[in-house]
Amino acid sequence: MHELTLHGYFRSSASYRVRIALNLKRLEYRQVAHQLRLGEQHSPDYRRLNPQGLVPTLETGGAVLTQSLAICEYLDELVPDPPLLPQRAIERAHVRAFAQVIACEIHPLQNLRILNRLRDLGVDKDGVKAWAAGVIEEGFDACAALIEGQAGPFCFGAQPTLADVFLVPQLANARRFGAELRWPRLLETEARCLELPAFRDAAPERQPDAEVA
């Protein structure tokens, strides 16, 4: 197994997803922190690794991987057990759709880059927070509907999947921005996830760089 180096930031929900996946796969990894609020992700050295200047980035055996969804699926293929995706194709599609609501629809509209642009356009602090909360609430309304009728205790059955890996960090963002937590099924699933060390140990407050916020 190649040495794994995760470039991230303790509060980045995308980095949080990858930490959970690494922990579920029981993989050891080294962390390199980039303070997003100080703009460290835009340094020339880091841009050579990740041209977008975003976190996370995973270095593995001389290869560099970006985008949390791609990284998590790579880890799932690298270490198939425990699986993050179901065996049946239709079930895999459902799990991916749930994860993509978060990765492609919710998170990109409330990440630091977008919030900074809103501030640059003159939106005040309360307006920026309301924007983020509204985006999260709308997206999670859809997520709750997508798993309605699915057996628990996790999003799609008895074991955590990619859906749960993406759910828990986004609920942390929901609390940060004061979103209305109106999704009992999602919150029950989160509580079940947080009983597992893989999720607890990935939490932002448990990361080496947490104290430099």
Residue 212 has pLDDT above 70, yes or no: no
Q: What is the pTM of this model?
A: 0.96
Percentages helix, strand, coil for the chain, rounded to the nearest 5?
Answer: 60, 10, 35
pLDDT tens across 173-190, in order? 999 999 999 999 999 999
Q: CA 146, CA 201: separation in Å to the nearest integer?
A: 28
Identify the helix (H) or strand (E) that includes residue 171: helix 162-176
100-113 pLDDT, tens digit per residue, is 999 999 999 999 99
Residue 39's alpha-carbon distances to 33, 115, 199, in angstroms, are 12, 14, 27
- 20 closest CA partner among 206, 210, 198: 198
pLDDT 10s digits, 114-158 = 999 999 999 999 999 999 999 999 999 999 999 999 999 999 999
What domains are defined for the chain?
4-82+199-212 (3.40.30.10), 89-196 (1.20.1050.10)
Compute the mean pLDDT over every residue in the chain, rounded to the nearest whole number. Answer: 96
Q: What is the DSSP letter of 121?
A: T
CB neighbourhood size of 189 (10 A): 24
